[in-house]
Structure formats: structure tokens, C-alpha cells
């Protein structure tokens, strides 16, 4: 059995060398049986608190990253991300809090017709995915968020979804939301019981409208 310090050193080495965040199971596969991975992660998390880099859990996986309060130092090193339109931000927020959700359900929450181009770009960016089909007439496709969504917004899981103020600060929502827009309790996010798996050959539809132009 590895002692605590050696387990921490091994985890540091694995996370530092990994091209992407590692899950608990990923670490367990590489460490000797009996290694107390949970305790080592907790110790590392505490040890790096307040340092220039920190150990964080995102989408159920662990990684080292620049301390949040020092992110401004990296602005010139990163490519400016593709900016979502107001409609895309609102659609993404609705999907996150109401998933699994269909296009008509998104329209009902927003109060306006959803541009198919908006869903297209969210699919293209990997922030949402087609989950399945609703057990209702027409069997409409349902949408949900991805691990990439959790990673992009620094969430460990869907239970960490913030409220409206926090979502605005994080860039999830625009500052001028439509009247009546509300955010339900994130703990209400559950897999749909009236949802079937996608059919073989189901693909994201071809959308033509430019999402950047939608208001």
C-alpha cells in the first residue's frame, strides 16, 4: 500500500502529464490497489488552496488549473472564445435547467420561436447533445448538456448549477433577459422517465440560420 505522501505525489504526476482531466477510476487504474485516492485528493486540494494553481473537480474529473483569481494573467495567452448570441445563451440555460427538453418546450420557456440555428451552434460547440426522443406524438428529440458544458463553466455536476445572478456573471445569461424568464431549482434536474433512446441513424439536423444574428 502506498503511504499518503507517495499517493499524493503519484496523483500530482498523473494529473500534470494527462492531456485531459482524470476521474477517480482513471487514477485507480494507475495506482496500486489500496491507495487512498480520496484522502490524497482532499489533501492535495487543501495544499494547493491559495496557490497559483489549484486542484479542481470538473464534470466528475480532476485537473490542475490556474487559480481563478489569477485568470486575468492568462488573457493574452488564450484565444478569444466564440461568443454566443443572447438567444444561444438563453437556450443553453434553459436546456441546462430543464433537461431533457424538446425544442417546443424551449420555445415555451423563452416565449419566442427557437431558431434551429441556435441549437445547431450549441451542438457544434459540444455544449449540448441530442439525448433521446420524447414518448409523445411525433417523438420529438430531447436535448441535454454535456461534460464539455460542465467543464466550460467549471461545474462538478448539474447540482452545482448557479442562480440567475451567478449565471449572468459567468456569461451564461445576457443582462437583459426576456420578461418572466425564471430559473428552476437545479436539484430538480433528473433523467426523463418519458424518454426513449435515440434511434439508429439519428443525427443533428442541418441548420442554416446564423446564430450570431439572432436576438
Per-residue pLDDT of the chain (215 residues; tens, 9 = 90+): 578 899 999 999 999 988 899 999 999 999 988 899 999 999 999 999 999 999 999 888 999 999 988 888 876 555 555 678 888 888 998 898 888 888 888 888 787 776 668 888 899 999 999 988 988 888 898 999 998 898 888 888 887 777 666 666 655 555 455 555 555 444 444 445 677 887 766 655 443 333 333 43
Task: Give me the residue spans of the domains in the chain.
Answer: 4-74, 86-213
Per-residue buried b or exposed e for 145-179, using 16+ beta carbons within 10 Å of the residue's own CB: bbbebbbbbebeebeebbeeeebbeeebbbeebee
Task: Of 84, 72, 97, 59, give the one whose Cα is nearest residue 171.
Answer: 84
- Class at the top of the CATH hierarchy for domain 4-74: mainly alpha
Distance CA 123, CA 153 (A): 16
Instruction: Give the per-residue pLDDT at 188.
Output: 43
Distance CA 137, CA 98 (A): 20
Contact 85, 151 (CB under 8 A): no
Q: How many C-beta neighbours within 10 Å does residue 38 have? A: 10
Q: Pairing between strand 61-66 and 128-134?
A: unpaired
- Grid cell 424551449 is found at 106
Distance CA 3, CA 39 (A): 11
Distance CA 177, CA 145 (A): 21
Instruction: Give the per-residue pLDDT at 171.
Output: 56
Q: Pairing between strand 53-58 and 101-102?
A: unpaired
Instruction: Give the per-residue pLDDT at 115.
Output: 64
In sequence order, what E strands does 84-193 have? 101-102, 128-134, 141-145
CATH of domain 86-213: 1.10.10.10
* Phi, psi (degrees; rounded to nearest 5) at 53: -120, 155
Domains 4-74 and 86-213 share a fold: yes
C-alpha cell at 83: 461568443
SS3 1: coil
Amino acid at each position: 500500500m502506498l503511504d499518503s505522501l507517495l499517493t499524493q505525489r503519484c496523483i500530482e504526476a498523473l494529473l500534470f502529464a494527462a492531456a485531459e482531466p482524470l476521474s477517480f477510476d482513471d487514477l485507480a487504474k494507475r495506482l496500486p490497489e489500496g491507495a487512498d485516492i480520496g484522502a490524497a485528493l482532499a489533501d492535495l486540494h487543501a495544499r494547493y488552496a491559495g496557490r497559483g494553481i489549484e486542484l479542481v473537480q470538473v464534470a466528475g474529473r480532476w485537473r490542475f488549473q490556474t487559480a481563478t483569481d489569477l485568470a486575468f494573467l492568462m488573457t493574452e495567452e488564450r484565444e478569444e472564445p466564440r461568443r454566443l448570441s443572447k438567444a444561444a445563451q438563453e437556450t443553453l440555460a434553459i436546456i441546462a435547467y430543464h433537461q431533457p427538453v424538446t425544442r417546443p418546450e424551449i420555445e415555451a420557456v423563452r416565449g419566442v420561436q427557437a431558431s434551429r440555428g441556435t441549437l445547431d451552434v450549441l451542438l457544434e460547440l459540444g455544449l449540448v447533445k441530442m439525448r433521446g426522443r420524447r414518448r409523445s406524438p411525433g417523438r420529438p428529440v430531447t436535448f441535454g448538456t454535456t461534460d464539455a458544458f460542465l467543464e466550460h463553466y467549471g461545474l462538478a455536476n448539474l447540482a452545482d448549477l448557479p442562480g440567475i445572478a451567478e449565471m449572468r456573471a459567468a456569461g451564461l445569461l445576457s443582462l437583459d433577459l426576456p420578461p418572466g424568464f425564471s430559473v428552476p431549482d437545479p436539484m430538480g434536474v433528473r433523467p426523463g422517465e418519458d424518454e426513449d433512446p435515440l434511434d439508429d441513424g439519428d443525427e443533428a439536423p442541418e441548420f442554416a440560420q446564423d446564430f450570431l444574428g439572432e436576438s
